[in-house]
Chains A and B, each alone.
Chain A
Amino acid sequence: MAAPIALHLEFGGGAELLFDGVKDHHVTLPSQSEPWDMKQLLVWIQRNMLKERPELFVQGDTVRPGILVLINDADWELMVSGVSWSTSFRTKIMWSSSLLCMGVNRRPHKKTECGH
């Protein structure tokens, strides 16, 4: 049984707009039988934190292309898949912005659906 994990999550580059505009989040992942990994974390974020438009955030079981994820200030693409979370991880998730249109009214939406 893995113990609960306290995690510092940061959203940036516009991704925070999907989370009520809040960039910094301190969350606790509940204990579960298997260790937490990115896939499970994304599902958890989606269920417990995401306020709107999940399709802007996830695609399949990973983050949408165009979103960068940093774990302890390093590109998560450096890690071999199946990395499991530990308490010392500070995670930053940020949009590289080009797929997200902020429009004039600042409501984020996919560029594939905006008709300006």
Chain B
Amino acid sequence: MPVFCSSCENKRAVLKRPKTAHSLCKECFFWAFEEEVHHTIITARLFNRGETVGIGASGGKDSTVLAHVMKVLNERFDYGLKLLLLSVDEGITGYRDDSLETVKRNQQQYDLPLKIVSYEELYGWTMDAIVKQVGLKNNCTFCGVFRRQALDRGAMMLKVDKICTGHNADDIAETVLMNVLRGDIARLRRCTAISTASEGEGVIPRCKPLKYAYEKEIVLYAYFKKLDYFSTECIYSPNAYRGHARAFLKDLEAVRPSSIMDVIHSGENLSVREGVRMPVQGTCSRCGYISSQALCKACVLLEGLNRGLPRLGIGKHHRLHGKILAQQPLTEREERKLRAVDF
């Protein structure tokens, strides 16, 4: 017995929306999804006419849906934006190949320019070479840190005004929860922000047009639209703790679908008592990227790789920053600690 669409009432419903519990047909769902993203973009004033916007494209479902919806909305509502796809090639043999092929097809399908920046050209190291040095266990630290900067550096090369990324409601709820669990007040304050203003030289403003879109709807939007995406994307720095937070959220969502949005709202509405000490946001003295330490994480990791001390960026070794900056040699004990790699 088919369920009918609660909006148009004459077509067969294809999904139950987690956000509203409405049953919608394909056409009504596409419309509702796109209109909501448009509403997000307009209310938060994410873009200005004439801007060049780089869409962080991994070939995964989120960024593919983002690219598609941005293209549709830019035309439907005449935003007047110049859109382009921006991809990062980490240099992982056999892993990125498929997703980069997907991005290349997206370029054709959506008729958007594409720029691929490689770790090799940005850092002088491919992920394959990094894995050889640090082992599989720690490579996500590198991948996450390097990727975040790679998008910025790529965007600067292309003189892009803004970057938008495919982070969805589930991602943001997960991050809120993580920051609560870690007691990271500074990040907790920032993580629900839909856009970040330029935080200094070398950092391009970023925004998240899919902030209020549930993962389930993104997957189904891509599926029903038959969008071409690659399903095994490497998610930014996955770790066991984050995995538990995600699984916990999904369990909550199964009981009450609004949980995802509830967590985001809690994060947005938390206010921090006056007098709580916040870390001072500075810039990396080597590359100019935002950093609360003398050296940003990427520069520390790179230094470690180049000196053959791959553990340098993995633990907390802030007190060594001065030595690194001054190009001073490390003591034998310091070196020994940093060289060991546990697999």
Contacts and interface: CB of A to CB of B under 8 A. Distances in A.
B23 interface: yes
Given A68-B216, A68-B219, A97-B232, A110 B247 contact: yes
Contact of B219 (A17, A96, A101, A103): A96
Q: How large is the interface on B (under 10, 10 to 19, 20 to 34, 35 or more residues)?
A: 35 or more
B219 A116 contact: no
Q: How large is the interface on A (under 10, 10 to 19, 20 to 34, 35 or more residues)?
A: 20 to 34
Contacts of A66: 247, 250
Interface string B204-226: 00000000000110011001000
A70 B220 CA distance: 10
B246 A98 contact: yes
Contacts, number: 108
B338 to A, nearest CB: 19
B224 to A, nearest CB: 8
B61 interface: yes
A99 to B, nearest CB: 6
Interface in A82-104: 94-99, 101-104
B239 interface: yes
Interface stretch (B72-80, B136-144, B154-162, B283-291): B136-144
Contacts of B215: 96, 98
Given A75-B14, A75-B16, A116-B137, A106 B232 contact: yes
A97 B95 contact: no
A115 B13 contact: no
B250 A113 contact: no
B113 interface: no
Contacts of A102: 232-234
Contact of B238 (A75, A78, A94, A111): A111
Nearest to A110: B243
A35 interface: no
B227 interface: no
Contacts of B170: 98
A41 interface: no
Contact of B15 (A65, A78, A99, A106): A78
A79 B233 CA distance: 31
A13 B231 CA distance: 5
A116 B16 contact: no
Nearest to A111: B243
A106 B30 CA distance: 32
B12 interface: yes
A78 B16 contact: yes
B246 to A, nearest CB: 6
A61 interface: no
B246 A99 contact: yes
A12 B324 CA distance: 47
B92 interface: yes
12 contacts: A66-B247, A74-B13, A77-B16, A78-B13, A94-B223, A96-B215, A98-B171, A112-B244, A114-B243, A116-B137, A116-B138, A116-B139
Interface of A: 12-14, 17, 64-66, 68, 70, 73-75, 77-79, 94-99, 101-106, 110-116
Closest 8 CB pairs of A and B: A111-B243, A65-B250, A75-B15, A116-B140, A102-B232, A112-B243, A65-B254, A77-B16
